[in-house]
Amino acid sequence: MKIAIVDDDHLFQFMTHKLIERIAPGHQLLGFQDGQPALDFIQANQSHLQRLPELILLDINMPLLNGWQFLEGLKQLEATTYRPRIYMVSSSIDPADVLKSQTYAQVKGYLTKPLSKQQLTELLSDPIRE
């Protein structure tokens, strides 16, 4: 499975890679430091679904294109055949962010950093869970 980690935080990228490698080695991990390069990648490959990540762990606060703007951009691509599972991942515990994430149909859940081994195990072991 292709998993994209969209986060400007190197520490989070580092910790998530290590955890996935430990829990379920063999997944292809795609790291993006901002929402914009992630969206550009999807747009460039939307006719090749096999190249696109099936699971996206999306940070909210990013310098160029934040998590919300990424979701709006993805909506505007109108890529009807591409429907990845997206999880908002943030260190914020602001309930407003949690509520806002629920207004996007593609967002399957809101996860608070740091991600635990158990959380990631559940995400990876049941790829079709919604």
Q: How far is the CB of 92 from another protein (least distance, A)?
A: 5
Which residue, 5 or 42, is less far from another protein as judged by CB?
A: 5
CA 94 to chain CA mean position, Å: 19
Q: How far is the CB of 120 from another protein (least distance, A)?
A: 11
Q: Using CB under 8 A, which of 45, 69, 92, 106 touches another protein?
A: 92
Cα–Cα distance between 42 and 77 in angstroms, integer?
9
Q: Using CB under 8 A, which of 3, 6, 12, 36 touches another protein?
A: 12
Site residues (CB under 8 A) for another protein, limited to 106-125? 112-117
Judge contact between 99 and 73, C-beta under 8 A: no
Judge contact between 110 and 101, C-beta under 8 A: yes
Cα–Cα distance between 123 and 62 in angstroms, integer?
23
Nearest to 107 by CA among 78, 125, 77, 83: 83
Site residues (CB under 8 A) for another protein, limited to 25-64? 61
Residues at the site binding another protein, with contacts judged by CB under 8 A? 9-12, 14-15, 18, 22, 61, 91-94, 112-117
